[in-house]
Amino acid sequence: MYIHAGEIEDLVRDLCIKAVTDLPGDVAVALLAASRRETSALGREILGALLKNAEFAKETRTPLCQDTGLTYVFLEIGRDVRIEGDIKEAVTRGVARGYTEGYLRKSVVRDPLFHRENTEDNTPPVIHIDIVPGSEVSVTVLPKGTGSENMSAVKMLTPSAGPQGVMDFVLETVRQGAPNACPPMVVGVGVGGMMDTASFLAKKALLRPVGDSNRDPEIASMEKKLLAAINNLGIGPGGFGGITTALAVHIETYPTHIGALPVAVNLQCHAARRASGILRGAERPCSQNQHSSR
Amino acid sequence: MTLNGAFWDGALRVSVPFTNGQPLTRLKAGSKVLLSGVVYTARDAAHKRIVEALDRGEKPPFELEGQVIYYAGPCPPPPGRVIGSLGPTTSGRMDAYAPRLCAAGLKGMIGKGKRSKVVVRAITKFGAVYFATIGGAGALLSQAVKKAEVVAYPDLGPEAVYRLEIADFPALVAIDPLGRDMYNRS
């Protein structure tokens, strides 16, 4: 089965714009439910403003938040698919077009250290590729703002810390970071593997629909306990007080070393933006000419 | 959709900048305000340049006396619009520069999130005020911007300094001139 790189470029372009202007339904539902539960009057007003913001953003195709992020693109490529063209180049071109044609903010600097010059098209994105069974390509775009990203943290715990040590670290990271991270947040937690595995899992946890529990009942119960503890901190919507500091806690795990217990916390703001699409392979290859004449 | 109606009920109307030299004692931590007038945007890179200019004894790109800085960098405006999405960025990243600007006359800051003790001390020393607005509500907040133009550092793109004319821009007094801090309620 064949998929032309140009189709991936077009899809990535569209998903960049959709992600930042169209708040996922599960996030909107969670905000609405929170606005009914919230005990602080100011908190309810903030949550109401966030829902209005989402409506206005969708109607007018204005980004929900001016920080349209560094673009994380997750690709799942079916092992029976043959990509015609360079997939990473296609994704990068899609991001550049999405951010330029969609009037999104370009927030990427070429060199983090000495030459912080804007690349002016929000490239390069961060690209993660997985090979999966099947003959489709699934693309998810997660534009991640730095307000919440900067408040994220990794810690190399050791086994004696146990589940309680993990919970304490998550809670402390939220206590320190939440007021700056545009609460109510989605809290992504990654546990296991190595340092980078835990960080990646924490990011991947943000792709789960808000409120979907981990399939493992012990982990699901830990998610519930953490959510209750976080909402007990009193930080509230916008950090101005209240019982809605997080909308969900999502934990993902991976096997780890006998001597290790790495944990990462990736905070996601209430503008928990993501958009996905699927491309199905064609029986025959499509030439570059055919694609560009579409 | 507008910001009018029941939204931000009971807010105090405040004109900016604060150029008449009057003390800002009516602004109390926790109060809702609707800001109208002129503010300037500046983020990390613009702050670095402004402070470097002050250090060299040069004039800043806009008069700091009584002025209000909005910590923000907009999305570009689509055709026919004044500005794209424009909400606050995290104020804490400007903590390294804020006391220097307060000493040079800056009276107000608009952003989101906590400030350091050093900034709270500068706010009380110079009788300034820190407003917090709604992070992540950039689409809605951009409606309060009536006019926008780049006045300095255009090479910084979204980090350029914009002069904004705002009307009924919703915010909260987060740290008042007496140092009372909404983010430190204990």
The 3-state DSSP class for residue B89 equals coil
Is A7 among the domain residues? yes
State the pLDDT at residue B1. Answer: 42
Q: How many domains does chain A have?
A: 2
**Looking at residues B162-170, what average pLDDT do you find?**
97
Q: Identify whether residues A7 and A111 lie together within a single domain.
A: yes
State the pLDDT at residue B5. Answer: 53
Pairing of strands A136-144, A82-84: unpaired
**A62 with B142: Cβ contact below 8 A:** yes
Listed as ranges, residues in chain A with pLDDT below 70 are 287-294
Share of chain B above pLDDT 90, in %: 90
Is A82 among the domain residues? yes
Q: Identify whether residues A98 and A151 lie together within a single domain.
A: no
Is A246 among the domain residues? yes
Q: Identify whether residues A171 and A281 lie together within a single domain.
A: no
Which amino acid, one-letter code, is at B180? R
Contact, B177 vs B128, CB < 8 A? yes
Strand order in the sheet with A136-144: A126-132, A70-78, A136-144, A275-280
Residues whose CB falls within 8 Å of the CB of residue A202, separated by 6 or more in sequence, listed in order = A152, A188, A189, A190, A252, A264, A265, A266
Per-residue pLDDT band for B4 (boundaries 50, 70, 90) equals low
Q: Identify whether residues A14 and A104 lie together within a single domain.
A: yes
Q: Identify whether residues A199 and A220 lie together within a single domain.
A: yes
> Any idea of the CA torsion for A19, A21, A25, A30, to the nearest 10 degrees?
100
Q: Identify whether residues A8 and A139 lie together within a single domain.
A: yes
Is A36 among the domain residues? no
Is A93 among the domain residues? yes
Q: Identify whether residues A154 and A176 lie together within a single domain.
A: yes
**Residue A147: burial class (beta carbons within 10 Å; 0-12, 13-18, 19+):** buried
Handedness of CA A47, A49, A50, A51 (dihedral sign): positive
Residue B148 to residues A56, B119, B166: CA-CA distances in angstroms? 20, 28, 9
Using the predicted structure, report yes or no on whether residue B91 has a pLDDT greater than 50.
Answer: yes
Is A35 among the domain residues? no
Q: Identify whether residues A153 and A228 lie together within a single domain.
A: yes
Give me the residues paired with residue B41 across strands.
B70
Q: What is the ipTM of this complex?
A: 0.94
Q: Identify whether residues A256 and A241 lie together within a single domain.
A: yes
CATH code for position A152? 3.30.1330
Which of B1, B86, B90 faces A59 most closely, judged by CB atoms? B1
Per-residue pLDDT band for B20 (boundaries 50, 70, 90) equals confident
CB contacts, 8 Å: A269 with chain B? 135-136
Q: Identify whether residues A82 and A117 lie together within a single domain.
A: yes
The DSSP symbol for B108 reads E
Domain of A152 in residue numbering reads as 147-268
The 3-state DSSP class for residue A234 equals coil
Which of A56, A106, A116 faces B139 most closely, judged by CB atoms? A56
**Looking at residues B3-30, what average pLDDT do you find?**
85
**Closest approach of chain A CAs to the CA of B126, in angstroms?**
25
Using the predicted structure, report yes or no on whether residue B185 has a pLDDT greater than 80.
Answer: no
Q: What is the DSSP string of A64-117?
A: SSS---EEEEEEEEETT-EEES-HHHHHHHHHHHHHHHTT-----BS-SSS---
Query: What mean pLDDT, rounded, does chain B reach?
Result: 94
CB contacts, 8 Å: A55 with chain B? 1
Query: What domains are there in chain B, each with its CATH number?
Result: 31-175 (3.20.130.10)
Q: Identify whether residues A174 and A222 lie together within a single domain.
A: yes
Is A83 among the domain residues? yes
Give per-residue pLDDT as tens, A154-177.
999 999 999 999 999 999 999 999
State the pLDDT at residue A227. Answer: 98
Q: Identify whether residues A185 and A249 lie together within a single domain.
A: yes
CB contacts, 8 Å: A65 with chain B? 85, 87, 135-139
Residues whose CB falls within 8 Å of the CB of residue A114, separated by 6 or more in sequence, listed in order = none
Is A171 among the domain residues? yes
